[in-house]
Amino acid sequence: MGRSRHSVLAAAVTVVCAVTLLGAPGTAFARALPEPTPPAAPAPSASPSASPSVTLPPDKDLQAVRAKLDKLYHDAAVATDAYNLAAEKTKKQSAEITDLNQKIAEGQLTLDGLRDRAGAAARAQYRTGGLPPEVQLMLGNDPQDFFEGAGRVLQSQRATKSLIEETARAQQDLKLYADDAADHLHLLEAGRKAKAAAKKRIKERIKEAEQLEARLEKRQRERLAELERQASDRAQSAWLGTGILDELDGKASAAGRRAVEFATAQLGKPYEWGAEGPGTYDCSGLTSQAWAAAGRPVPRTSQQQWKRLRHVDINDMRPGDLIIYFGDASHVGMYVGDGTIVHAPRPGRTVTLAGAGSMPILGVVRPDTD
C-alpha cells in the first residue's frame, strides 16, 4: 500500500513537471512552432514638396548633390549681379530722363518767349508800314528824325538777327534734348527687360535648389551640411597653410573700421537677392552699404566692384578691403582680419563670418585709398 501511494505521487510529480516544462517560454518546444508573420508597416507618406517619382539619393551620391546645389546657387548669384546692375542702370536712366524732361520744359518756355519777342518785332515793323529807308527819308519832314530812326532800325535789325539765331539754337537744343530722352527711354526699356529676365533666372535657380534639398531626408541634409563644412575647412586650411597670415599686418583705415563695424553689426540677418538692407542683404548689398555707411560709396555689384575699385595684392590686404570670389566675380565678402570675412552667403543662409580662403579668391579691391 505504501509503495502504491509512492508510485502514484511520483507519477503526479512527473506530470506536473512535464506540464510546467511545456508551458515555459523560450524552450526548444516553443521554437519548434512557426513564427507569426508581423503586420506590414504602413508605407511612409510622401513629403508635400517631394515628387512621388523621385527616389532619395544614397549617401554616396551626396557629393554630386552638393555640386549640383553649388552650381544652382552660383547661377543664381550671377543672375543676381545682372539684376542688380540692371536695376542700378534703370534707376540712373530714370533720373536722367527726369532731368531731360525738365530741360525740355525749360527749353520750351525759352522758345515760347523768343517767339513772343519775334512777334512783337514783326508787329512793330508792320506799324511803320514796312517802308524801305529811302522812301521813309523822302516822306519824312525832319532828316534828323530819319537818321535817328534809321539807327533804331539798324539796332532792331541786329536784335532781330540775334533773336532769330537764339531761336534757332533753342530749337536745336530742344531737339537734342528730345532725341536724348528718346535714347534714354530705349535704354530704360532695355534695362527693364534685362532686370525681368535676371529676376526670372534667379527664381528658377533658387526654386530648383530648394526642391532638390527638399527631397533629402533629415540625415542626408545634415550630412550634406557636414560635407560643405569639410570642403570649406579644407580650402581655408590650404590657404592658411601658405603662411598668408604672416604677411597680413595691414591696419584698417578709419573708414575701413567704420565699414567693418557696419558689416559685422548685420550678422544673423537673412540673405535676400537684390536686397540692400536694413533687414536683409545679398553679398554686394552688404559690402556696398557698409562702405556707404563709412562715407565711401562703391559700385552696387560685385562685378562692378571688381572692375572699378583699386586692386591690391592679397599680401597687402587689410580689414575693410573686399575679397572678390570665383572667376566671374560673382561673390564678394569683406575682410575683417585674422583670416576671416563677413559676407551674405546665399539664399537660405544669414550674414555670417567665414574663412577668407574658404572659396576660390579672384582678387582683392580697396574702396578707400591713402
3 state SS of 221: helix
3-class secondary-structure state, position 303: helix
**Which of 207, 328, 350 lies closest to 281, judged by CA?**
350
Q: Are 283 and 275 in contact (CB under 8 A)?
A: no
CA angle 86, 89, 91 (to 5 degrees): 110
Q: Single out the catalytic residue among 6, 17, 74, 331.
A: 331
- Count the neighbouring beta carbons within 10 Å of the beta carbon of residue 54: 13
Which entry of 17, 186, 311, 343 is annotated as an active-site residue?
Answer: 343
Contacts of 78 (CB under 8 A, 6+ apart): 328, 330
Q: Are 301 and 285 in contact (CB under 8 A)?
A: no
Angle between helices 254-264 and 283-293 (to 10 degrees): 130
Q: Cα 306–199–232 angle (5° rounding)?
A: 50
364 neighbors 352 (Cβ within 8 angstroms): no
Give the separation between CA 298 and CA 313, rounded to whole angstroms: 19
* C-alpha–C-alpha distance, residues 1 and 7, integer Å: 10
**Which of 6, 17, 74, 283 does the annotation list as catalytic?**
283
- Nine-digit cell string for 119: 512777334
Indicate the Cα dihedral angle 328, 331, 336, 340, nearest 10°: -90
Q: Catalytic site residue 283? A: yes
Is 343 annotated as catalytic?
A: yes
Residues 107, 177: contact at Cβ < 8 Å?
yes
Contact indicator for 235, 244 with CB cutoff of 8 Å: no
Q: Among all residues, which ones are annotated catalytic? A: 283, 331, 343
